[in-house]
Amino acid sequence: MRGWSPLVEGFAAGKFNLVHLLKPIPVWMRYNNRFPVKIMAWAHTNGSGLVVGKHTDVTDFSGLGGKQIAVPFWYSMHNILLQYALRRSGLTPVIKGEGEAIAANEVNLRVMGPPEMPPALAAAKIDAYIVAEPFNALGELKAGARMLRFTGDIWKNHPCCVVCMNEDLTSTRKEWTQKVMNAVVRAAIYASQNKKEVARLLSKDGEGYLPVTEDVVERAMTHYDVADYGASKAIQHADWGNGRIDFQPWPYPSATKLIVEAMNETVVSGDTTFLSGLDPDFVAKDLVDYDYVKAALEKYPEWKNDPSVNPGDPFAREEVLAL
């Protein structure tokens, strides 16, 4: 699948028992579409960035005025964080059709499948894109893209994709659900501790789960050096200690609450009236199933070794955003 819409549609049609979705998608599915989705765990933290084309002279967010930027889905962490940064930089996110005039203080957004982003940037059909890895690394290595900012350097250890199931399944197949979540937690621990090996396995030089070479996936998972990204200010909070991508499964309620609040400020295409009555505290309790993942985390305590986790208080945290 080359985009998020087919995955969402397939999950809603019952074609999949387990999916990973962009974190805001389950909010939209449960409270707008009334689909009984449950977030079961986080798939990874950080792991995204905003890259700009070599045809631009953009060096910071304020330089994005009048530009065209691709996002992977309206209901995505990428769209939320991009618009947060644009507003903080005095710019206005808009959604305009092809050929419509864009003011100097506006930034036009469009949805594009992640695999289409690097070639579109290389051809100057867009000026920038924000997406999850490995497409940022692919853009850097193959499309002349330059990393403007890592999203994990704006929102410390933010969730990106989440593991989801149909709520009916979690209530009728409890033993199976627990075994699945045990496997998810074990996989997260392994990925956290073996990023280079996992990069090879995922690449087309390994098991071929991703249609890109090992060097691209390894860069996507490990290359987060201040020596390379500090001068360009793609990394401005090196003291946060996170990686380019990290793996810890606990779905912090504080992050869910922040996302619901941010979704109310984010421009998207389509009806958003469902958001106006959503209570962040209610959503954090209703949308997420904490029981299965917590049982798995208690069985496999090595998850606390991920750099995104405070081992002294692993099940709670304070959200940190700074542009």
Spell out a b/e string for 72-84, using b for 16 or more CB atoms within 10 Å of the CB, else e: bbbbbbbbbbbbb
User: In 229-308, at which residue ranges do the beta strands (DSSP E only) sit?
Assistant: 245-246
Q: Which helix (H) or strand (E) segment is 89 a member of?
A: none
Pick the CATH number of 1-323 from 2.40.50.140, 3.40.50.720, 3.40.50.2020, 3.40.190.10: 3.40.190.10
| Per-residue confidence (pLDDT) for residue 1, from 0 to 100 | 62
- Cβ-based neighbours of 312, under 8 Å, separated by 6 or more: none
* CA atoms of 112 and 76, how far apart (whole Å): 12
User: What average pLDDT does range 273-289 have in this prediction?
Assistant: 97
**Structure tokens given for 22:** 């962009």
Q: What is the model's pTM? A: 0.96
- Residue 122 in this model has a pLDDT that exceeds 80: yes
- Which 3 state secondary structure label does DSSP give 129? strand
Domain spans of the chain? 1-323
User: What average pLDDT does range 144-157 have in this prediction?
Assistant: 98
What rounded mean pLDDT belongs to the chain?
97
- pLDDT band for 139, please (50, 70, 90 cuts): very high
C-beta of residue 36 within 8 angstroms of C-beta of residue 167: yes
| Per-residue confidence (pLDDT) for residue 4, from 0 to 100 | 87
